[in-house]
């Protein structure tokens, strides 16, 4: 199996365009962010005062004994200790306010972003979902959004704090001793070089981790969804080996990232230790020479340790920042995908007349060869209230016609008209609201039975949904469920039989009361008893509606007003059941093939003609 896992390499180590776009999510909460930044600066101010209080305690009281009385020294130390405790308490309160504001604002930003992503996903064309695994899209709305939230809450505001802290530390150190401060300043180019080298390597490593994680999530989601098939065809070992391969790639990507950070952190600690050694040497010499106080030396060492703390944390901040940059690339790639064009006309009254005029369609955006086209010049008309069946061999384009009528895909040539109006001119939601589709593979959502009939539509009351279920003979089995219409439906309707799910799909279609009803192999998976129930109400279901029926079992469509026969994307025959049998063409071959052997020669002849 093959997947479109890999995404192209985009951007640079820091992309100002991406950051500006990310900051638009902060704009509605800029007041809260400003308050958080202010609190962060106040927290930094309290931190800067602590080493200075230590200097005062040592120089003014501890080192002053016996020059001052012991009682005076103890009293002074008590005041300094009280001031120290007061500053710590103030810092605690300020830090609480800062953290709360940051997390609150970050959660609001994450809420807005996820809302925008989900709203956008609901307006994307089906073609997009054909090309993107579910796991990848789930990663965009969860892991990637969380990475950006972490950047807002842990990096954006703390960057201001770190800059203010570093500037404040150097200001205090120069005030204490300019020579020692210059020694620390001389180490800054080395730190910048290490940081620059780290930054070059960190983003690519983090992007690779994100890519491999998306690949892992997508494979997991697909494998779990298809676990029944994997087990039925005894493909557990092959699936496990594929998972191990993807899991190993994700593990190796993480290890490359960890290696980069594992090298960066010790280098920063090495430079920090070098700075401490230089301060002890030069500062200690100054204390012995009497030109530098012992309290100032202790405070200086504390400021040096405080200075290197944000630099040591820089690796983690870059980890978060690079993750956010990589995640934002992916999120904005998703948000920049063109949405379906929803706006258009509405019709005051829908009669239900459908016309295909010389329709050509290919799933490839730029078809060049004859075989690239799925539909080739298809033209037909369905009159209001008419029941039309579409038949043909597998791959002839039957389901594609339905997808095009619903504008799940856009045609390349020709036109599709509803009551004489090109459907591309109609409002997309209006168009789809006039059509209900009952598919062979029924999709049920988690929730109760009633919710799966109504799909939470406000205009469909409980009474109307129950009446629809009765209309299609589904009420009997629903009443036998533990809680009736309030019975919980597990994921994809796992607790219901295939026939029960199909009956719910019919009830759903009736409840929405469409003008046009499409049955796409709707009775293919239903047992004879359930099909009998459906057939009893199918005439009432289709009464007054334009109906298009796709069926392989030709016995179910004999009473249709018209039958369209497709073969390799072309409309080769149309007429009633009796007319088509008399022509002894493809329909005759398909029909007799289901009830005997006489159709095999006709099919062979048609295949030979096509190859010529």
- What pLDDT, on the 0 to 100 scale, is given for residue 595? 67
Give the 3-state secondary structure of residue 486: helix
- More confidently predicted of 201 and 488: 488
Q: How confident is the model at residue 315 (pLDDT cuts 50, 70, 90)?
A: low
pLDDT given at position 340? 82
Q: What is the average pLDDT value for the chain, to the nearest integer?
A: 83
* Confidence band of 93 (pLDDT split at 50, 70, 90): very high
What pairing do the DSSP bridges indicate for beta strands 421-422 and 375-382? unpaired
Mean pLDDT over 554-574 rounds to 87
Average pLDDT over residues 148-167: 83
What confidence tens digit (pLDDT) does each residue in 325-359 have? 888 888 998 999 888 877 888 988 889 999 999 99
User: Does 486 or 368 have the greater pLDDT score?
Assistant: 486
Three-class DSSP category at 552 = coil
The pair phi, psi for residue 237, each rounded to 5°, is -65, -45
How confident is residue 439, by pLDDT bands cut at 50, 70 and 90? confident
Give 5's pLDDT tier (boundaries 50, 70, 90). very low
Give, in order, the Cα–Cα distances in Å from 585 to each of 389, 559, 576, 594: 17, 19, 13, 15
Phi then psi dihedrals of residue 380, to 5 deg: -165, 165
Q: Which pLDDT tens digit goes with each residue over 37-90?
A: 899 889 999 999 999 999 999 988 888 777 788 888 889 899 999 999 999 999
Has residue 596 got a pLDDT over 80? no
Q: 36: how many CB neighbours lie within 10 A of its CB?
A: 28
**H or E element, residue 132:** none
Per-residue pLDDT tens digits for 277-301: 888 888 888 888 888 888 888 988 8
- pLDDT score of 383: 93
pLDDT at 116 over 50: yes
- The set of residues, in sequence order, having a beta carbon less than 8 Å from that of 205 and lying 6+ positions away, is 253, 256, 257, 260, 322
Contact between 505 and 521 under an 8 Å Cβ cutoff? The reply is no
Domains, the chain, with CATH or none:
16-335 (1.20.1560.10)
Helix (H) or strand (E) holding 359: strand 354-361
> 448: which strand partners?
488
CA 515/CA 287 separation, integer angstroms: 94
Per-residue model confidence (pLDDT) at position 388 = 93
Quote the pLDDT of residue 3: 40
pLDDT digits (tens, 9 = 90+) for 445-459: 888 889 888 888 888
> For residue 545, what is the DSSP state?
S
**pLDDT of res. 573:** 92
Backbone angles phi, psi at 516, to 5 degrees: -125, 130
Residue 7 confidence (pLDDT): 47
pLDDT above 90 coverage of the chain, percent: 21
Confidence of residue 522 (pLDDT cuts 50, 70, 90): low
pLDDT on residue 529: 66
Amino acid 222: pLDDT: 83
* Arithmetic mean of pLDDT, 13-32: 84
CA geometry: angle at 476 spanning 472 and 477, to 5°? Answer: 100
Is residue 15 predicted with pLDDT exceeding 50?
yes
How far CA 169 is from CA of 47, 83, 166, 181, in Å, comes to: 10, 20, 5, 10
- Residue 531's pLDDT is 65
- With vertex at residue 167, the alpha carbon angle to CA 161 and CA 170, rounded to the nearest 5 degrees, is 135
pLDDT tops 50 at residue 8: no
């Amino acid at each position: 199996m093959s997947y479109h896992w890999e995404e192209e390499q985009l951007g640079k180590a820091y992309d100002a365009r991406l950051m500006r776009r990310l900051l638009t999510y902060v704009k509605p909460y800029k007041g809260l962010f400003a308050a958080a930044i202010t609190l962060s600066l106040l927290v930094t101010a309290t931190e800067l005062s602590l080493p200075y209080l230590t200097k005062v305690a040592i120089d003014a009281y501890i080192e002053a004994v016996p020059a001052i009385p012991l009682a005076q020294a103890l009293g002074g130390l008590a005041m300094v200790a009280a001031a120290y405790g007061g500053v710590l308490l103030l810092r605690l309160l300020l830090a609480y306010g800062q953290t709360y504001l940051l997390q609150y604002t970050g959660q609001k930003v994450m809420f807005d972003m996820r809302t925008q992503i989900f709203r956008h996903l609901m307006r994307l064309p089906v073609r997009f979902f054909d090309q993107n695994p579910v796991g990848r899209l789930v990663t965009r709305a969860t892991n990637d959004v969380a990475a950006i939230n972490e950047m807002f809450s842990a990096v954006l505001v703390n960057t201001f704090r770190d800059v203010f802290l570093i500037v404040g530390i150097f200001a205090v150190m120069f005030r204490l001793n300019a020579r020692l401060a210059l020694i620390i300043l001389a180490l800054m180019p080395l730190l910048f070089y290490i940081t620059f080298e780290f930054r070059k390597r960190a983003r690519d490593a983090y992007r690779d981790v994100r890519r491999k994680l998306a690949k892992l999530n997508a494979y997991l989601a697909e494998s779990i969804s298809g676990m029944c098939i994997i087990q039925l065809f005894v493909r557990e070992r092959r699936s496990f080996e594929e998972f191990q391969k993807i899991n190993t790639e994700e593990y190796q990507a993480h290890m490359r990232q960890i290696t980069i950070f594992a090298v960066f952190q010790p280098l920063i600690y090495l430079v920090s230790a070098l700075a401490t050694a230089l301060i002890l040497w030069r500062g200690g010499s100054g204390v012995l020479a009497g030109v530098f106080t012992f309290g100032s030396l202790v405070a200086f060492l504390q400021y040096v340790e405080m200075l290197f703390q944000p630099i040591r944390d820089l690796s983690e901040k870059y980890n978060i920042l690079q993750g956010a940059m990589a995640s934002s690339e992916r999120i904005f790639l998703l948000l920049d995908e063109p949405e379906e064009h929803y706006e258009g006309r509405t019709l005051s009254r829908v009669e239900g007349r459908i016309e295909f005029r010389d329709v050509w369609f290919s799933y490839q955006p730029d078809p060049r060869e004859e075989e690239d086209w799925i539909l080739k010049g298809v033209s037909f008309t369905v009159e209001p209230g008419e029941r039309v069946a579409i038949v043909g061999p597998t791959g002839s384009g039957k389901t594609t016609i339905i997808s095009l009528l619903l504008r799940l895909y856009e045609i390349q040539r020709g036109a599709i008209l509803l009551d004489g109006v090109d459907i591309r001119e109609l409002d997309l939601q209006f168009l789809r609201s006039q059509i209900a589709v009952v598919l062979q593979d029924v999709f049920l959502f988690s929730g109760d039975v009633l919710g799966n009939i109504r799909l939470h539509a406000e205009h469909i009351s409980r009474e109307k949904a129950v009446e629809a279920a009765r209309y299609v003979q589904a009420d009997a089995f629903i009443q036998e469920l533990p809680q009736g219409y309030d019975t919980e439906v597990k994921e994809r309707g796992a607790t219901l039989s295939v026939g029960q799910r199909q009956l719910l799909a019919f009830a759903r279609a009736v409840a929405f009361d469409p003008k046009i009803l499409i049955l796409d192999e709707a009775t293919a998976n239903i047992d004879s008893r359930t099909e009998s129930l459906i057939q009893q109400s199918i005439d009432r279901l289709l009464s007054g509606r334009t109906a298009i029926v796709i069926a392989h079992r030709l016995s179910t469509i004999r009473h249709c007003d018209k039958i369209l026969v497709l073969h390799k994307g072309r409309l080769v025959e149309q007429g009633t059941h009796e007319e088509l049998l008399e022509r002894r063409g493809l329909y005759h071959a398909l029909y007799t093939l289901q009830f005997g052997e006489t159709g095999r020669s006709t099919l062979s002849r048609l295949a030979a003609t096509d190859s010529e």
